[in-house]
Amino acid sequence: RRREADLRLRRATSLAALSRATEALEDLDRAIALDPKEIGAYELRGALRRDTGDPRGSTEDDEKVELLRNGFQRVYQTAIDAC
C-alpha cells in the first residue's frame, strides 16, 4: 500500500507540473486513502486545491499537514527523551 501511495504521489507531482490538476488531485486522493500519514500528498493537494479555487479544501489539507508534523515531532522528542 505504501509503495502504491508513493507512486501515486510521484505521478500527481508530474501531472501537476503539466497543469493537469484534476488528474493530479485524483491520484492524491488515492495516495491519501492508501497512506493517510503521507504529508507530501496533503501538501501538494492543498496547493492544488488553492490553485483550483477550493480554499476550504486547501485549509483542511494545511491543517492536516500541521497535525501530522506536530504528531511526528512529539514521537521523535519522546524517543530522544527516552535515550
CA 70 – CA 50 distance, rounded (Å) = 23
Position 22 scores a pLDDT of 97
Provide the grid cell at 59.
485549509
The candidate with the shortest Cα–Cα distance to 28, out of 18, 71, 16, is 16
Coil, helix or strand at residue 18:
coil
Residue type at 51? D
CB 73, CB 81: distance < 8 Å:
no
Mean pLDDT by 10 residues, the chain (83 residues): 95 98 98 96 98 97 92 70 73
CB 3, CB 11: distance < 8 Å:
no
